[in-house]
Amino acid sequence: MSLSNTQKLLDLMTRLRHPQDGCAWDLKQDFISLIPYTIEEAYEVADAAEREDMDDLRAELGDLLLQVVFYSQMAKEKNLFDFEEVAAGICEKLIVRHPHVFDGAVFNTDEERKQAWESAKEQERAAKNKAAEPESILSGIAVNLPALVQCEKIQDRAASHGFDWKETEPVFDKVMEELDEVREAWQSGDQAHIQEEIGDLLLVAVNLARHLKVNPEIALKESNKKFSRRFNYIEQQVAASGRSMRDCELEELDDFWHEAKRVLKK
């Protein structure tokens, strides 16, 4: 009977980490050294999904799975846990977090489902943190998340405990207030203060996105793509004139930008 591909992958990883016959590169890795590769693979999965390239997505998911297997093998070598325990843990978590599927609970709205999900996560954090310092509402939010993602999670967590505007209109006012404070900081010439106020402006912009039911990370990515398409159009027009962009006045480049908006539509 042939091995499942999952078991084959686990066996290959064990072989790669064999002290005598394994791969020198794989052997010298540890939990910390793998972090950049894990983050890179996660972003490559996201990129393939956004492009809807299913062949690439399948391959990138395999690369990400390898990271999970790699960490699990190193933990197994230290008698900490193994891949089966990782899989068992996520199975248990999925069952606990979906009582409407596995335990007969009834949620009438997405908001009720979200509150139940957050409640389950809060109970998990409390159980994990019994012997540690007093639990904070914000505990458990990963510090290495992209700043926009982290900001949204922090605000979602605070909002779930009542710390949020109940209406959207005051958030618009707060954006304008923070923008005025950025201008004041800029006029002061204090670079540290400018940075602080820019951070506050970005934070409240994320809050506005939340109130408008927009994912700020996705929104910014789409705007980045739109900017790149329009900028590429400008490059093409300048190149067609036999010049470089530095040879052009800003007004001419701005005209090309507005032309790009008309021609490319998005």
Whichever domain contains 67, its CATH number is: 1.10.287.1080
* Structural domain range at position 80: 5-118
The closest alpha carbon to 214, from 226, 203, 205, belongs to: 205
36 and 85 both lie in a single domain: yes
Distance CA 15, CA 8 (A): 10
Question: Residue 259: its pLDDT value, please?
Answer: 92
Question: Residue 100: its pLDDT value, please?
Answer: 83
Question: Residue 130: its pLDDT value, please?
Answer: 60
Neighbours of 78 (CB within 10 A): 8
Question: In the chain, how many domains are there?
Answer: 3
Q: What single DSSP character describes residue 136?
A: P
44 and 77 both lie in a single domain: yes
Alpha carbon 73 to chain centroid, angstroms: 26
Question: Residue 140: its pLDDT value, please?
Answer: 80
Distance CA 94, CA 108 (A): 20
Question: Residue 113: its pLDDT value, please?
Answer: 78
Distance CA 17, CA 79 (A): 15
Q: Domain boundary residue among 118, 134, 161?
A: 118
Residue 26 forms part of a structural domain = yes
175 and 189 both lie in a single domain: yes
179 and 225 both lie in a single domain: no
Q: Which two tokens stand for residue 204?
A: 């409240």
Per residue of the chain (266 residues), what is the pLDDT tens digit? 456 999 999 999 999 999 999 999 999 999 999 998 998 999 899 999 988 999 999 999 999 999 999 999 999 999 999 999 999 999 998 988 888 888 877 877 877 777 777 777 777 766 666 655 557 888 888 887 889 999 999 999 899 888 999 999 999 999 999 999 999 999 999 999 999 999 999 999 999 999 999 999 889 989 999 999 999 999 999 999 999 999 999 999 999 999 999 998 76
Residue 84 forms part of a structural domain = yes
